[in-house]
Amino acid sequence: MPVPAQRTRPGPRRALTEDQILDAALTLLDAGGANAASVRAIAAQVGVAPNAVYTYFPDKAAIVKALVERLLGQVDHGVFIDRDQPWRQRVEALALELRERLSAHPGAVPLLIGGPMDGPHALALNERLLELLADAGLNPTDAARASYLLIVYVFGSIALEVADLPQPGPLPPESERIDTRLDAFTATPAEHYPRTAAAAAAMAGYISTEQYLWGLRRMLDGITASTTAHTEAAGV
Amino acid sequence: MPVPAQRTRPGPRRALTEDQILDAALTLLDAGGANAASVRAIAAQVGVAPNAVYTYFPDKAAIVKALVERLLGQVDHGVFIDRDQPWRQRVEALALELRERLSAHPGAVPLLIGGPMDGPHALALNERLLELLADAGLNPTDAARASYLLIVYVFGSIALEVADLPQPGPLPPESERIDTRLDAFTATPAEHYPRTAAAAAAMAGYISTEQYLWGLRRMLDGITASTTAHTEAAGV
DNA sequence: ACCTGAACACCGTTCAAGT
DNA sequence: ACCTGAACACCGTTCAAGT
């Protein structure tokens, strides 16, 4: 998003900024879920007529795109940029940081995965991940494939988690979270789906972060197993 | 089917079936993308007034739910139910079959991942996957975690693939597919994102099924690596 | 029981006009 | 340049009425 040139200075009054509109959209998303951020609701939130929004963004898709970029920009790179840390730990830090940032706004998640993530912040994150995998000793092809695998996992996990949520609004603390998925499985007649019922029982004690990290580590195991020669040389 | 007599006059008799409504929804989805299957468009497609649809389904969510169930029900279990096959091959067959069925209706994918998949067909698929993982020698806890990991991967892959699609409508053959993601990466200035640009170059020759299977195999590697003792005993 | 027209409360977006 | 009211073409859903 380029900085507007200084020559086009005020007209009668500039009542808003792009950021205020994105703030309003996010507030609505957090309170009412993915469908709550209508252009009209955003306009009402910031106190203008619906069509005034189109002074700042060409259409709703542009608002969504800018919002997605903003969320990805909030990811703290510090936690996984440190090359002195073991690379697996850095991947875990990245995965946890992304998950935490996105879980903070479940209503925005469907917008995230609803379109291509090709903005500058998305590309910057991808770049960091590729650096990380290069540090791990992967060649460019393996790094590219592994990065896509990890991205699918991170966003897929969050998307399915949000999809299983019973209602819009902020995520409750993990300990109190009601998981529709586990609910459905637990309510499943064991005579029809014995293994699903058993799996629900086996998983009942676990929290989702644990499951998330378990999956992530299995993927890292698989990635390193296929590229052992390189990882040995890379150290740590 | 003979030429339909014009019973456009209000008839007390049942003019439709639930299946016809789902057929219409799927047709619209395939032609116009995820937003094309409005209740009003469905009604128009089957030749009734919009509110007549509510005789068959209580609301739009019920239509979506039934449609998702129907799509999952079309998955052919035969390809991965055969216990004489090596279990990894069975997992791959399941993953490929699911991907093929869902890719046939890209417009329906956002509806798939937009809500919980807890219908009978979804549970049946989960049950088959757990059987498969039990055959591989995993204990119930590992099987539950591994199955969720695999589900996240399969649906996450398809969701991201659809999200990167430029246009609604049917998926073109894989060889002619335009991938917004790769496009964005290729168009990326190499001076800002050198590794992303390199990754795009490295991946340019690959087709997505190859990437899909690569990721799947890395996950299976990681799963077996963490449960070696069991897999040895399970044979194959 | 099934379908209808009409209506309600929404939606994204465009347009002409006012400042 | 920025904002407005009004309008257009949608949307899901409800209601009373007709068969």
What is the tens place of the pLDDT at every residue in B87-97?
999 999 999 99
Mean pLDDT for B46-75 is 98
pLDDT digits (tens, 9 = 90+) for B122-174: 999 999 999 999 999 999 999 999 999 999 999 999 999 999 987 776 666 77
Mean pLDDT for A130-151 is 96
What is the least distance, in Å, from the CA of B107 to any CA of chain A? 11
Q: Inter-chain contact B145–A203, Cβ cutoff 8 Å?
A: yes
Query: Which has more pLDDT, A207 or A203?
Result: A203
- What are the tokens at A144? 């590219």
Q: How far apart are CA A21 and CA A63, in angstroms?
A: 8
Q: How far apart are CA B123 and CA A142, in angstroms?
A: 34
Give backbone dihedrals phi and psi of A82, rounded to 5 degrees, phi first: -75, 110
Q: How far apart are CA A112 and CA A20, in angstroms?
A: 20
Query: Which has more pLDDT, A206 or A229?
Result: A206
Asked if B69 and B119 touch (Cβ cutoff 8 Å), the reply is yes
- Confirm whether any atom of chain C, the nucleic acid strand, is less than 7 Å from CB of B15: yes
B126 contacts: CB under 8 Å, gap ≥ 6: A185, A193, A196, A199, B147, B151
The B residues from 185 to 204 touching A (CB cutoff 8 Å) are 185, 188, 192-196, 198-200, 202-203
Q: Please give the domain boundaries of chain A with CATH numbers for all domains.
A: 18-233 (1.10.357.10)
Q: How far apart are CA A163 and CA B129, in angstroms?
A: 21
B37: Cα separation from own chain's centroid: 17
B46 sits in the region (left: phi over 0; alpha: psi -120 to 50; else beta) called alpha
The residue among A195, A200, A168, A159 whose CA lies nearest residue A181 is A200
The A residues from 45 to 84 touching B (CB cutoff 8 Å) are none
Give backbone dihedrals phi and psi of B206, rounded to 5 degrees, phi first: -95, 150
Give residue B236's pLDDT. Answer: 42
Q: How far apart are CA B86 and CA B77, in angstroms?
A: 16
Cα dist from B86 to A217, B81, B173, whole Å: 24, 11, 30
Mean pLDDT for B56-75 is 98
Q: Does the pLDDT of residue A231 top 50, yes or no?
A: no
Mean pLDDT for B41-67 is 98
Q: How far apart are CA B80 and CA A4, in angstroms?
A: 57
Asked if B51 and B45 touch (Cβ cutoff 8 Å), the reply is no
Give residue A190's pLDDT. Answer: 75
Give residue B230's pLDDT. Answer: 47
Give residue A130's pLDDT. Answer: 97
Banded model confidence at residue A13, pLDDT cuts 50, 70, 90: low
Q: Which of A36-45, A209-218, B85-94, B189-198 has the lowest mean pLDDT?
A: B189-198
The B residues from 204 to 233 touching A (CB cutoff 8 Å) are 211, 214-215, 217-223, 225-226
- Average predicted confidence (pLDDT) for chain B: 88
What is the least distance, in Å, from the CA of B143 to any CA of chain A? 8
Locate all alpha helices (DSSP H) within B36-167, ordered by sequence.
39-46, 60-73, 78-81, 87-103, 109-114, 120-135, 140-163
Q: How many percent of chain A have pLDDT more than 90? A: 69
Strand C nucleotides with an atom less than 7 Å from a protein beta carbon: 1-7, 10-16, 18-19
Which nucleotide is the nearest neighbour of B40, by CA and C1'? D11
Residue type for position B226: S
Q: Does the pLDDT of residue B68 top 90, yes or no?
A: yes
Q: Does the pLDDT of residue B27 top 50, yes or no?
A: yes
Query: Which has more pLDDT, B106 or A172?
Result: B106
Select from A196, A211, A227, A228 the residue whose CB has the most chain B CBs within 10 Å, as the one to mutate to test that interface: A196
Q: Does the pLDDT of residue B234 top 60, yes or no?
A: no
Give residue A12's pLDDT. Answer: 63
Give residue B173's pLDDT. Answer: 75
Residue type for position B134: A
Query: Which has more pLDDT, A183 or A131?
Result: A131
Count CB pairs under 8 A between chains A and B: 190
Coil, helix or strand at residue B233: helix
The A residues from 140 to 179 touching B (CB cutoff 8 Å) are 140-141, 143-149, 151-153, 155-157, 159-160, 163-164
Q: DSSP letter string over A79-145? A: HHH-TTS-HHHHHHHHHHHHHHHHHT-GGGHHHHHHS---SHHHHHHHHHHHHHHHHTT--HHHHHH
Strand D nucleotides with an atom less than 7 Å from a protein beta carbon: 1-7, 10-16, 18-19
Give residue B205's pLDDT. Answer: 67
Segment holding A16, helix H or strand E: none
Mean pLDDT for A212-227 is 94
Banded model confidence at residue A136, pLDDT cuts 50, 70, 90: very high
Q: DSSP letter string over A24-92? A: HHHHHHHHH-TTS--HHHHHHHHTS-GGGGGGT-SSHHHHHHHHHHHHHHTS-THHHH-TTS-HHHHHH
Give residue A62's pLDDT. Answer: 98
| DSSP assigned state of A169 | S
Which nucleotide is the nearest neighbour of A38, by CA and C1'? C11
Residues 35-74 (B) near nucleic chain C, CB < 7 A: 47-52, 55-56
pLDDT digits (tens, 9 = 90+) for A78-110: 989 999 999 999 999 999 999 999 999 999 999
Residue type for position A173: P
Mean pLDDT for A131-139 is 96
pLDDT digits (tens, 9 = 90+) for A141-190: 999 999 999 999 999 999 999 999 877 766 667 766 666 667 767 777 77
The residue among A80, A225, A77, A69 whose CA lies nearest residue A146 is A225
